[in-house]
Chains A and B, each alone.
Chain A
């Protein structure tokens, strides 16, 4: 006779494995610090590219005022100003990334725990049978 509880459990597990399971399994291969760190590095690279592009557009549109600033103030001051803005942008974006990917990892762990618990339950059911 069909064990209804077992069928429900297996259906749930199969659905998870087929949909989210693949992605979650990939994340699960890493330790939390490795995964979050790697994602933050990728975010830092993205933020740097975007900053460079935005700065290029700004420089293009405000070319004359930029040249005036360049000659008016010292090169060091100008560089420091740009670098400060870049750092604020980079740190802000990396912090957001850190929070998001930490949360993502925790969520993944919860789902995987649930999945492993279901596996245990299933094994017990088979042992009973």
Chain B
């Protein structure tokens, strides 16, 4: 555990140091994954399949705000659908219009769920999404997740029935076009599996959010476990009632995997030491205060310094060497006076090795987090 916390601290320090470049890198990677996924799933417009275009668009997304990834992905999707047929593109456009005009006006930060949900479905880890968004976001994220699910099912439906909707070059009668549109809408919106997934994911997001906000020890762990169990039961129940055709083993393993990933997310985003939690009470003229002070775990990253003193024709017991050793010990002891532990002190005539944990400013200044409850 200590090693993991140390790793977390190192990662945090690394992130603080290179935040600008890391942000560029994750946006670039997310854009590459999203665009490649769209190309592999749809891929009807061959020009967009070129790695150069994907790379250029990803670079553009890396520089621009994160929401731009969603816009570029939507444009890629619509272009592919347009190459397939106008009807599929029209329905796609309507879906995106509804999402952007009706919902993302309120919560533009949530648009990333629209990208992440289909990506997770593609990677066969869809159950991570509701738990992760419940842990890291607000219950309103349930709406974004639902939009992501609709997009994913729509793209899946088009990909599997591409032959039916493909334009053959012969002019289509208006009545045929209308019947095509009707069959797409029926195919997507009468899919019971989609509705079961939307309802379950939305409920899991809300449940996980509510539990992790509770003022109880290990609330995040409890939220993950309860959310996972609820999701497993609900999806299997949905399969029994509506015959959604999900694989039971897939649901169980997928949910367990989702819980493991959620634990990793939880570890890196939130970690508290419950052993030193303090509950104190005091009062002023107007109120009584019941304060729960929960200290943050902060592990000092060890800063190993190796000082080598060469023998240089002097014996082990020579006064100069003894003086040097004493001086080194004194300096390192004074440096480590404020730290918690000093390990591996090894003095030798040839080598003086000391491991001195050094606390960085951030960990010292934010060593305690106080939660004040009135």
Minimal Cβ-Cβ distance residue in A for B102: A50
Question: Are B178 and A47 touching (Cβ within 8 A)?
Answer: no
How many of chain B's residues have a CB under 8 angstroms from any CB in A? 15
Chain A residues in 8 Å Cβ range of B182:
61-62
Give per-residue flags for A36-48: 1 if the beta carbon is below 8 A from chain B beta carbons, else 0. Answer: 0000001100110
Query: Which of B90, B91, B106, B181 is the one whose CB lies under 8 Å from A100?
Result: B106
Cα distance, A112 to B177, chains bound together (Å): 54
- Contacts A42-B105, A100-B106 known; A50 to B181 CB distance under 8 Å? no
Give complex CA distance A78, B60 in Å: 49
Partner of A49 from the list B91, B101, B106, B175 (CB cut-off 8 Å) is B101
Q: In the docked arrangement, what's the CA distance between A46 and B175, Å?
A: 29
Within 8 A of B (CB), among A77-127: 93, 97, 100
Q: Mark A48-87, 1 if CB is under 8 A from B, else 0.
A: 0110011001001111000000000000000000000000
**B182–chain A nearest beta-carbon distance, Å:** 4
Which residues of chain B have C-beta atoms less than 8 A from A60's C-beta? 177-178, 181
Say which residue of A50, A57, A61 sits within 8 Å of B101 (CB atoms): A50
A60 vs B86: C-alpha distance in the bound complex, in angstroms?
Answer: 13
Query: Does the CB pair B102–A93 fall under 8 Å?
Result: yes
A13 nearest CB across to chain B (Å): 16
Chain B interface, DSSP helix/strand/loop, else mixed: helix
Tell me whether A50 and B178 are in contact (CB under 8 A): no
Cβ A61 vs Cβ B181 within 8 A: yes
Residue of A nearest to B105 (CB): A46
B105–A57 CB distance below 8 A: no
Give the residue of B106, B175, B185 whose beta carbon is less than 8 angstroms from that of A57.
B185
Q: How far is the CB of B67 from chain A (nearest CB, A)?
A: 14
Which residues of chain A are near B178, meaning CB under 8 Å? 60-61, 63
Beta-carbon contact of B98 and A43 below 8 Å: no
B97 touches A53 (CB 8 A): yes
Q: Tell me the bound Cα distance from A63 to B178 in angstroms.
A: 8
Chain A residues with CB under 8 Å of B102's CB are 46-47, 50, 93
Point out the residue from B94, B105, B177, B185 that lies within 8 Å of A53, measured CB to CB: B94
Q: How far is the CB of A36 from chain B (nearest CB, A)?
A: 13
Residues facing A in B145-197 (CB within 8 A) are 175, 177-178, 181-182, 185
In the bound assembly, the distance between CA atoms of A63 and B185 in angstroms comes to: 14
Task: Give the contacting residue for A46; candidates B90, B101, B177, B181; CB below 8 A.
Answer: B101
Q: Give the one of B90, B102, B181 with max A CB within 10 A.
A: B102
Neighbouring B residues of A54 by C-beta, 8 Å? 94, 98
- Give chain A's interface residues, CB within 8 Å of chain B: 42-43, 46-47, 49-50, 53-54, 57, 60-63, 93, 97, 100
A-B contact pairs, 12 of them (CB 8 A): A49-B101, A50-B98, A54-B98, A57-B90, A60-B178, A60-B181, A61-B178, A61-B182, A61-B185, A62-B182, A63-B175, A97-B105
